[in-house]
Each structure stands twice: as structure tokens, then as C-alpha cells.
A and B are shown apart, each in its own frame.
Chain A
């Protein structure tokens, strides 16, 4: 059952799943993510000889009984994580009918992800961006934080051209401590800009997940006859014989996806491709841990 842009059914089905980062992160609260800081945690990591200043409650007295020496238990600390979900609201995202519209799909994906993340104790922020502007909600934790996010997403209207670098810089100013960026976009821009953006994120030691959303028309090019195509972000037009160009076009799209995947691999980012006519469950499962 769906509740507006928040897919409650999907969220329910993904209840047992956790969304983790690939690397250890700095966190402020206890959570499921491995912390860079060692401390109290259910997961034992190693013993260490007691030194002055160590808390006595961390001394393993049973070991002292056997070896007559003081050892302190060290635990891997689990911390909560701050997420930044970046939603591309450029004009090119508003493609497709109801049920397959890229922006609607992306909103649902973002809302559901935000809900699940909040449920596992992470704090979540949102940036709806285009070349023209970035509309940012700072990261907050707690289940109630889902409401402003959903409201924001419901009011997002597509506008402007696709861009990444500039909105990212703006987001990094706000999400200084956020460890993970989830970017939902069609990435219909110059690959060079995507590369620069990923470089920037990785240099800022952020974990990155790219949700690459394309409409089936864009991947399968299921048009017939001679069609005059007009760009959604500019005045460019082109008349093509769809039949003769289909093969070449699809090859181009495949190459682009491969390039993105390769870029993500290079920068240790997660790349999730999804069509806009599927359930949001599919891309979310791709990044979830059981």
C-alpha cells in the first residue's frame, strides 16, 4: 500500500534490511554503522593492557583472575549516520506518464529511503536541486523527521537544467558531517561533470550511492516512424527515423551507463541503475544489507 510518495508497503517489506555505509564513519549517536571511535559496543574487538585512565568497568576481571594482569576489553563502536539524499529536479526528470514518470519515481525512492534510514536511527537530509537552485533540508533524526521530507518532496516541481557540481558544493556546505550522499538523478549531463563531482565527494571522504533513473523510452527507444524530438531542457530539436537510429541510440545509452558504472567503480561508489517504471523496492534492495 502506498501512501502518496512514501511507499509504505515497500518500507514494510524492507523492514529487516539495514542500509550501511561501505566504510567506517564518524557519528554522534549510537547506530548500526561502524564508528571510527572505539568504545562501548556489543561487538568485542580486542584486549589491551590496562593503563591509567582506562575506565575500571571495562577491565575484564575474569581474565585478571586467570592471568593476574589487568586487561581492558576494547569494543568496535557502532554509530548512527547522517545521510544526504540529493534529488535531481531538473526538467529532464519530468518525463514519462503517471506510473513511469522519472521525477515521481525518484521522489518515491527518496521518500522511502529516507523513511527506512530514519527508522534505523540515521539522520537524513534532503537536497532537491537543479542548475537553478538547491532546496535543502538539513539532516535530522527521529521518525518524525520524515514529515518535512515528504512534504518537501511532494512540492518539488521540475525546473532548470541538469547539473551536479554546483548543487553538490552547496550541499557539502550544509552536510559537513554527513558521511553518505545518495544522489537520485538521470545524470543527463556531461560525464566530465559527473566525474568531477564524484572526485569532490570522495575527496571529502563521503560515501556515495548513485541512483541512475531512466525511463524505459530512454533505454529501449520504443518509438516508431519519423519523430521530431525536442529537448526538455533546451530548444534543440531533431527529426529522426526512429527505426534506423534505434540501434545506434541504444548503443550510446549502454555506453553511457557503462561509463557511469566504471566511474563509480573507480571512485568506490555504489551505482544503482533503475528504470522508472519498476517498484522502488528493487533499487533499495540493491543497496540494503540483511
Chain B
């Protein structure tokens, strides 16, 4: 319900409220003057009357001023109006769409929206049909249009505040589709919203029958939110990095932030400039508790008017046993002469520290092997790579796998350069004789101890390599040619040596450096190969399970269980924020977190002007006025009587 005046020009009359005061002041200054002998009696009388007179004057002044204001308002024709279809007395089909996106959780906005909707239900003419719908649809929703107001009110009150974002236009189109089939010829769609910018793809969206009601105050209020949280293992610790954004026009200083992980808690204070964000990092020492493959925690700031985005959850995951494939392109009868021997030995040594399953395949078997089952692949002197396998390998790396390539005499540089051009960290040249030692390059991949021993390796023959743009050289030879280079591709990594993994081209495999270097690859993969455990609301979650699993369930943060089809293990009901548990065969397998989309934390509104830019008449809506002048007239009469009574009482 909006308030307006039909003849606002008369509001100028309110200025006349000053007339009694001005008249009083003028009369005081330029009134009739008289010389009078008995002034002493006047002074005495006035003193006696002063208090009473002041009270009387004040009351009369107020009554008269109020009377003038009311008269001015009366002439200005006050009225309340609401938007309605052209003939407001006609029954219609009314769709009330309540914005239940999480930004509506700010203060009392959601309650106000429901109250406004109830008022609309009550004020719509008899014979109308109603439907009350959330802007964020619920799963399995059916839109029904009903005539009973009570039922409409009940379905309105059942609409929950969602924890997700909205796609307003898509949803409104759904509502229009449903409303077109509704009984009455007159239709109206009322969207009660906070106009938060994120929900609108087009700010100039207009539609026939559409009425937009803003339940918020203008301008949009400020908000602070935890908009991102990342967690990762390092060798000695677990780092939790959170980002806190300040969506307001004022500075935020000394904001208390808190990170929790497996029962441990760290607090810190941060400052954030207006419209900016600050990143904070919390470092938890690695303990037995958080050494578990799955650890969950949260990062938060003190609650404000919009509480939902003041906390984000995370699940820290490490992969289980690494699946390692060693492809030996030149296996020997005496396995100790094979390159795979050195690699497997080094990897097995590392397995005592890191769980890994190692498989060794020859070149032919490799061509038939399903690569997605592995996390780390060593290619040693693999001469034959088909285009299909090259594509598989590229896909494997893109998906997060790591490939370590040792060339050898079977490798044809041209073939590699062609087939693996997308993933190689450089262009291989021809193999050449050399007599070089390994030289360290500044990198954080290897420890200082390892670098000290690196010069023990001597290389007699190696491929030349022209590093590609974006690649990095980790180890090089004393003749300044690259020995080990690295590049990222997709989510995975490729490491390319320029010499063999056996002793035919270098003694690298038998130096004390070799095993630690191979372990670094396993470590690298282990740290980077964490499973995805953190999602935002609305994401579909692919459940990790063994192919033999027959029963999969997901328990959401409020304890509700969802059964998952083992054949298509995807969970889509990520509508609540918090920690979800995956149960496989009834046993808790792992957890994942679901957080808000941080876009909605910015409460910036779209311009209502652009939304309402289409004239209301074109929308089929008119303002329906209810004049209030009668109430004001009664008010004026009442004031006149009051003034007369007050005068009589005081005289």
C-alpha cells in the first residue's frame, strides 16, 4: 500500500502553519501602543497569568497549527493506492512470488515480504484465484492456483527462506506459464523482493501483468561476509585461507575472524576497506586428529544483519593410496637393467611413507590401459604412443593427473612433439652427447639437502629441449641445458626429463638423489590430488565410491537422509549450507561442505527505475486509489471543536 496525494499542489498550504506564529510575533512587535497609568496592576496580573497563559498559548498554537496542516492535507486529497489491473474490482488470478533468496534474510525483509503478500491476498476482489510461490523453487514443486484465501495464506507461510541464489527471470517465466492457464481473464504477477542485483540477468526486464514491490530500505544496506575459504595440507601444517569481503561504504576495522578445524580454534583481527576484501591465513599444526584423510572446519566472522554468509564450512581431504603406473618402453629380461626397476624401487621406498599402489606395464599394455584409474604415470623410454593414447594422456592430465616422462633411445622427438605438443613443457630436440653434472635451480620443489647432493649426478647423453612459454626448469645441466622441466595443463602437471631413468645415459638413477626426487613426485601428487570436497549451494556432487557399492546415502546438515542411485551416484539437493556426510553401505565414508554463493552477499540493488521503465499502463496496471479525505475532514472538525473547548476552558 502506497501513500500519495491527488492534488499535491495544495501541500504548499502546509507552509501556512507558520501563520499563527508569525501573527503572534507581528502582534508583539507592532501592536496598538498605549500609555497607561495603572501598569502595576497589569504587571501583577500578567505575572499571575503567565504560566497558565503559556500553557494555553502552546495548546492553542498546536491545535491551530495542526488544523492548518490537516486542512492543507485535506485539499491535497490524500489517498492510498496499490497497483492493480485496469479494473481493480474484477476478480483476477494473482501470483504472489516471494523472493526467498538468502539475501532476503537481511533483517526483517523476509517477514515483511510475507506480510505484504498477505495483505494483497486480503485486498483482492472476491472470485480471485491465488498462488503463492517462492522465487527459489522447491524440488518437485507443482504450481496450483486456488480460490480459498486461507489455503493461499497457508501456502504463503510455508515458503522457507532459501540458502541459495535466484534466477529471477527464469522463475518468473515459469510463473507466467502457470498463470496463463489460470481461470480469470485478469492476471497479475506480484514479485516481492529486495532487488538484489545478483538475481537479475537483465536490469531492464519488464513483463506484462508484473508488479514489483520493494521491501527494503533505500539505499541498500552494507554487509560483511566470508566469501571464500580454502584449506590445504603442507608438509608441516594445514593452512586455512579465508576471504572476508566488505560490501559497504565504510571501513571495517578490527573485525574478529575465526577458523575452526577438528576442534581447534584460531582467532585473528582484520581490517577491510569499503568495497574491498581482505584475505587471512590461519596455520594449524598437523596433529593426529587432522592427519585423518578427512577433516572439517569452518571460518567465520561475528554475525551481522545477514547471518547466513558470516560463516563458511570446509572439508579438507587427502586422497587415499596413490595409484602409480610405470610404463617401461624398453623392458629387459634382467629386470634390474630396466628403467622401471629404478623407478619402482624408488617409488616403493617412498611407499613406506606414502600409501601407493604401483603397476608396471610395457608399451603395448599401456596403449590399452585405462589411465583414469591412476594418479601418477611414469613414462620411461616409451617409443610408441598412438594419437588416441596421446589424447587419453592429455585428458588424464587435464583431469588432475601427473605424468613424469623419461625419454630414451626409443623415443622419437618429432613424434612426441607432434602427439604431445599440448602437454609437453618444451620441444624436444635430438639426443646429444654431453658430459655434465646436474645443477640446481631455485625452486621450492626440492629441499636444500637434496640440492646439495644434486651435483653427484653425471649425464652423458640427453635430449636437447627448448622450454615452452609458461614452463619452468627445475633442474638443469652444467652446460645450461634443461634436465627437468615442468608445466601445468588443465588441473594436472607434466614433468619432462631430458635423459633416461636407467644408467645408460646417466648415473642419475643410482645417485642418492634419485629416490628422494621420485618421492617428491609422489608427494606432489599426493598433496595436489586432494578430492573435491567443497561445493556451493546448487552444485551437483559426484559421489566417490567403489564400483561395487550397492547402497549410498547422503545426510544433509539438518540430518535429512537422501538415497543415491549407485549407478548414477550424483547428489543434487545441495540447497542447505553446512557439512554433508556420505554413507556407503551404511558406513560414514567422507564429508563434503556446501556454502553460499558469495555473489548474493553483495546487497547492491538494481535500479528500480530500469525495472519499472515500461509505463505501468503498458504493463496493464493502474494505480488504484482509495481517497482518505473523509478521515482528514473529521480530523479538522475534531480539531476545531478541541480548539473551541480549549479556548473556553482557558478563558
Contacts and interface: CB of A to CB of B under 8 A. Distances in A.
Interface of A: 91-93, 95, 102, 186, 188, 214-215, 217-218, 223, 225-234, 236, 238-241, 243-245, 248-249, 251-253, 256
Given A225-B31, A225-B32, A228-B31, 14 more contacts: A92-B37, A102-B37, A188-B37, A215-B37, A218-B37, A218-B38, A226-B32, A227-B31, A227-B33, A228-B33, A230-B33, A230-B34, A234-B39, A236-B39
Size category of the B interface is 20 to 34
Contacts of B567: none
B36 A230 contact: yes
B142 interface: no
Q: Residue among A223, A227, A233 with the most chain B CB within 10 A? A: A227
Contacts of B46: 238, 240, 245
A245 B45 contact: yes
Given A226-B28, A244-B651, A232 B45 contact: no
A248 B50 CA distance: 12
Contact of A253 (B32, B41, B650, B651): B41
Nearest to B38: A218
B353 interface: no
A84 to B, nearest CB: 24
A231 B41 contact: no
Nearest to A91: B37
A244 B56 CA distance: 11
Nearest to B33: A228
Contacts of A223: 34
Contacts of B40: 188, 231
A186 B31 CA distance: 27
19 contacts: A95-B35, A188-B38, A226-B28, A226-B32, A229-B36, A231-B37, A232-B35, A232-B36, A238-B43, A238-B46, A240-B45, A244-B49, A244-B650, A245-B45, A245-B46, A248-B45, A249-B45, A252-B45, A253-B41
Given A238-B46, A244-B53, A252 B41 contact: yes
A229 B41 contact: no
Nearest to A236: B39
A95 B34 contact: no
Contacts of B44: 252
A231 B39 contact: yes
Given A92-B37, A95-B36, A232-B37, A238 B31 contact: no
A192 to B, nearest CB: 13
A82 to B, nearest CB: 31
For the complex, would chain A's binding face be called helix, strand, loop or mixed by DSSP majority? mixed
B639 to A, nearest CB: 21
B469 interface: no
A230 B35 CA distance: 5
Nearest to A102: B37
B647 to A, nearest CB: 10
Contacts of B48: 248
Nearest to B650: A244
B27 interface: yes
A244 to B, nearest CB: 7
Contact of B32 (A215, A228, A233, A245): A228
B49 A245 contact: yes
Given A238-B46, A245-B42, A248-B49, A227 B32 contact: yes
Interface in B36-94: 36-46, 48-49, 53, 56
Of the candidates B34, B38, B650, the one having the most CB atoms from chain A within 10 angstroms of its own CB is B38
Contacts of A188: 37-38, 40
Given A226-B27, A227-B31, A228-B32, A238 B39 contact: yes
Contacts of B56: 244
Interface string B608-651: 00000000000000000000000000000000000000000011
Indicate the member of A93, A229, A241 with the most B CB atoms within 10 Å. Answer: A229
Contacts of A233: 37
Contacts of B650: 244
Contacts of B33: 227-230
A215 B34 CA distance: 14
B248 to A, nearest CB: 56
A217 to B, nearest CB: 8
B31 A239 contact: yes
A253 B38 contact: yes
Contacts of B43: 236, 238
A232 B40 CA distance: 11
B59 to A, nearest CB: 14
Contacts of A186: 37
A232 B45 CA distance: 18
A175 to B, nearest CB: 28
